[in-house]
Amino acid sequence: MDVREVHGGPAMMPPFQCQWCKELVTPGDLMHSLMPGYHYACALRVTVGSIGHTQGTCSCFVKDGTAEDDPPGLTRRQAAQLVADYVRQQQSPQPGRN
Ligand SMILES: [Zn+2]
Ligand SMILES: [Zn+2]
């Protein structure tokens, strides 16, 4: 997956509400080049699913699992950041692989 991280929009856009977490996206925030309506992390959350889904522990994979939703106690943006961090780990080259 070829995903670029961009800071702010093509132009200096005024802050706007993220379509996922409803928090403001400000010019300094990481954004997703293909999904300009979201924070970078939130775009990944929307694309790949919850952290539980990403790690294969949600009810899609584990019949009695209950982790399809975001972890309790986190904001939508915090939960999205977990997904983004996880995806970044998966994408970075790891010694001993390949
Ligand atoms: Zn967001
Ligand atoms: Zn799932």
**pLDDT digit string, tens, across residues 35-73:** 999 999 999 999 999 998 998 888 787 766 454 678 889
pTM to 2 decimals? Answer: 0.73
Structural domain contains residue 97:
no
Q: Which bound ligand lies closest to the C-alpha atom of 69?
A: 2
Cα angle, residue 33 at apex, residues 30 and 35 outer, rounded to 5°: 95
When the pLDDT of each residue in the chain is averaged and rounded to a whole number, the result is: 83
Q: Which bound ligand lies closest to the C-alpha atom of 30?
A: 1
What total of structural domains would you count in the chain?
1
Q: Which bound ligand lies closest to the C-alpha atom of 66?
A: 2
Q: Residue 34 belongs to what domain range? A: 5-91
Structural domain contains residue 96:
no
Structural domain contains residue 62:
yes
Question: In the numeric block, which tokens belong to residue 35?
Answer: 């999904």
Burial (CB count within 10 angstroms: exposed 0-12, middle 13-18, buried 19+), residue 39 = buried
Structural domain contains residue 98:
no
**Mean predicted confidence (pLDDT) in 22-42:** 93
Residue 16, SS3 per DSSP: strand
* 18 CA to centre of ligand 1 in angstroms: 5
